[in-house]
Amino acid sequence: MSSTTPTDGRTADGVQGTTTVVDPVVAKIAGIAAREVPGVHALGGGAARVVGAVRDALGQSDLGQGVRVEVGERQVAADVTIVVAYPEQLHIVAENVRRAVSTAIVELIGMEVAEVNVTVSDVHIPGEDDEPDEPRAA
């Protein structure tokens, strides 16, 4: 589905019409806003992050990864899945993501936000993704 922002009559230029914003654009804006929140290590669950890593290796990116949106005529509902960096407070990071996503949708798209649901799918511990310097077995 896509959102249509209705216009009331004509603009100052006398031009009339509608603006349509498709769902992937709304998801991308929400994803960008969520990634900018301090304490967010990544977006998406395990499988989405694996696919994202492959995509990144190929020089592509999906800024809407980990975000699902439902767009109505005037309202947006968003589900955002995040990985929080340890030792950040999960509930504070989740609330900041909720606020950032809501603000971005209102300010950049001009639609109301019905809800932003945040799921913390993992906690990233610094160094857990690092490869060991030396092989453990010969």
**Helix (H) or strand (E) run with residue 24 in it:** helix 23-35
pLDDT of 104: 98
For residue 2, the cross-strand partners are 22
- Rounded Cα distance, 83 and 65, in Å: 12
Residue indicated by tokens 């216009």: 7
pLDDT of 10: 60
Residue 73 CA from chain centroid, whole number: 20
pLDDT of 19: 86
pLDDT in tens, the chain (138 residues): 565 555 455 666 788 888 889 999 999 999 999 999 999 999 998 655 454 554 455 565 678 889 999 999 899 999 999 999 999 999 999 999 999 999 999 999 999 999 999 999 999 998 876 555 556 565
Which value, in Å, is the radius of gyration of the alpha carbons in the chain?
A: 19
CB neighbourhood size of 104 (10 A): 20
CATH 3.30.70.1350 fits 20-124, yes or no: yes
pLDDT of 49: 47
Residue 64 CA from chain centroid, whole number: 5
pLDDT of 59: 61
Query: Which backbone phi and psi does 95 adopt, to 5 degrees?
Result: -65, -40
Contacts (Cβ under 8 Å, ≥6 apart) of 88: 38, 39
Domains in the chain: boundaries: 20-124
